[in-house]
Amino acid sequence: MRLNPEQQLAVQQKGHVLLLAGAGSGKTLVLAHRAASLLQSDHGDLVAVTFTHDSAEELKRRILKMSPGHEKRIRTGTFHSLAMHQLRSVGMDIKLLNKGDRIRLISHAMSKTEEELSFEDMDKIIDKAKSDLSHRDYDGPGYKTFHAYQDLLQNDKRMDFADLISKAVDGMQDGSIPPLSMRWMLGDEFQDVDLAQYTWIMLHHELTGAELTMVGDDDQSIYAFRHALGYTGMEKLRSDVRAQILHLSRNYRCAPEILTPAARLIQHNRYRAEKQIIPAAEQGGHIECLFPRDREEESAWFLTRRREDPVGWAVLARTNRLLDVMEMELQQQGIPYFRDADDDFWETKHPRAVLSLLTGIVNGARALAMPRGKNSSSLLKSTAITNRLAAYRRDMFFGCRSALFLCGWKADTTDALLKQLEPVPMRDWKPILDGFAEQWHQTEQKKSPRLSSGLNFMENLQGWCTVSVQDPILLIEGIKRWNQKLIPSVAENCTIALTAIQRLRGTLAQRIQFVEGLAKKKSEPPQLGPETVFLTTMHGSKGLEWPNVWIIGAEEGVAPHIDSELEEERRLFYVAMTRAKRQLIISAVREGSPSPFLYEAQMYDA
């Protein structure tokens, strides 16, 4: 591909360069050309740092294609993989925590210090302290738990992911860890670096004299929640090394009909670098706003449009949960899709407990339907019935345990109640439940919503088992009313799960089997064909592109999200819009108000 004048200048520019490269501007091509040019211009090694292994491998492949024979002079990798190489070069043994171990150690640290912080808050505190390099002498909220967690890591001789960079930085600063050997360093997505990563880059520059070429776009800085420096980091680099600012202004991805409104939108941000956004793709694109009644109609309209044009679709949403209804519809219609998510909704603890609870009800109904007495024609058949009944009741009690977990019961309290109930038929549970409640009140001397909601579930269980066979919708309505009494953070996810199951067809067992099939499908390697619909969040879409993009949930309070800073949200919406090459559809349900971003992009008039 022939380089345009801006790209050619970026390849040939001497000294430190900060390249402001807009969406679809060919930045990877330019980085590869510049790397090849640098390798041919002088002796020395080149290091290229990225945020993903795939982009590191792709960049290396392109560099070597343009400059063959320099394999030993090139090192590419992510920040974490390159830092790990540094640590191992001095003989450091690295055992990284997995997600489960991290949860276990944070929980252990919290139990030791008893500071009044939620697990989620403590998790964020740990990440922030390491990303801004305050980990050595952290004294902010949760400092006791933070240092207890660090002690546990040291005792287990383990590291979490963020330790790789902070330890490499500490080692370079005290001289115990050498920098990577290099004459040049290239970096991609520079707007996404945090302070620890910025410091890692600058230490390499100071210790090796490396010439820096950093590529980024402040308009695509969407990771403030991960402590990315964004425009601030780019300004800091310009000042620290007196980098030459260059631009890649031409967007070769988006049709002008799509890029022009996106550019109008992002120009409402005040804290950004001055730049042009110029369409370079051919005209003939299509952009449209639609206003369905609700999420179900939103999904139905998408399916209708996809039937007309089945190839090259992606559905983007501000949050993962907004994609649940769409995923259910695609699954029911047998349409191939891939959902790009770090976590599967149905494998998270509250939806998983809902599935277990409902499975318990299904098996409770089967237990109630089993023949009783010694009417079987043979001992063998009688034994089989007895074994099957026992299996159904085990599953039923496992569902009860899940329900009590949702209510907030402790494991020993749950065990004490279920131990009394297990040998007794459901019809005879009432006196046991009353006695348990009385014993609780005598011991605790206070009312407990957790106790009430748990006992309420157990009292209703036999009726729910019966209703589940006759009318699954009525059953789920009953469970949803019970769910409303749970604490809000639990009830919200449970409501989403119950509503999704309610929208399906078939018996309760068939609905559960259908949802379990979703999890099984996600565990298999994705088969991505041209007619596969790609489901992802706006954050997950960064760096990707599709011919046709449908953005759902473009309502005020969702996009922009109420919990995020407005300019960050505007950048996120701009990123989502610029994933589309030829067709962009944005929908906002009539239950809410359209996103103000639609007005700013001049796509919608009130």
What stretch of H or E contains 315? strand 313-317
The response to whether 580 counts as a known ligand-binding position is no
Residue 465 in contact with residue 368, Cβ under 8 Å? yes
The response to whether 175 counts as a known ligand-binding position is no
The response to whether 50 counts as a known ligand-binding position is no
The response to whether 28 counts as a known ligand-binding position is yes
DSSP string, 322-384: GGHHHHHHHHHHT--EEE--SS-GGGSHHHHHHHHHHHHHHHHHHHHHS--SS--SSHHHHHH
The dihedral of CA 522, 526, 531, 534: what is its sign?
positive
Burial of 443 (C-beta count, 10 Å sphere; 0-12/13-18/19+): exposed
The amino acid that residue 326 corresponds to is M
How, if at all, do strands 244-248 and 286-290 pair?
unpaired
SS3 301: helix
For the record, the structure tokens of 202 come out as 């600058």
Task: Report the C-alpha dihedral over residues 117, 123, 125, 129, rounded to 10 degrees.
Answer: 150
- Give the integer Cα–Cα distance in Å for 326 and 439: 47
The response to whether 10 counts as a known ligand-binding position is no
Half-sphere exposure of 204 (CA within 13 A, CB side): 29
The response to whether 27 counts as a known ligand-binding position is yes
What stretch of H or E contains 390? helix 379-407
Cα-to-chain-centroid distance, residue 529 = 23
The response to whether 24 counts as a known ligand-binding position is yes
- Give the integer Cα–Cα distance in Å for 606 and 123: 42
The response to whether 21 counts as a known ligand-binding position is yes
SS3 464: helix
Q: Show Cβ contacts of residue 253 under 8 Å, excluding neighbours closer than 6 positions.
A: 23, 24, 281, 545, 578, 581
The pair phi, psi for residue 448, each rounded to 5°, is -135, 120
Other residues' Cβ atoms within 10 Å of the Cβ of residue 7: 23
SS3 138: coil
- Give the integer Cα–Cα distance in Å for 583 and 503: 30
Q: Show Cβ contacts of residue 117 under 8 Å, excluding neighbours closer than 6 positions.
A: 110, 125, 141, 142, 145
Indicate the annotated binding residues. 21-28
Indicate the annotated binding residues for ATP. 21-28
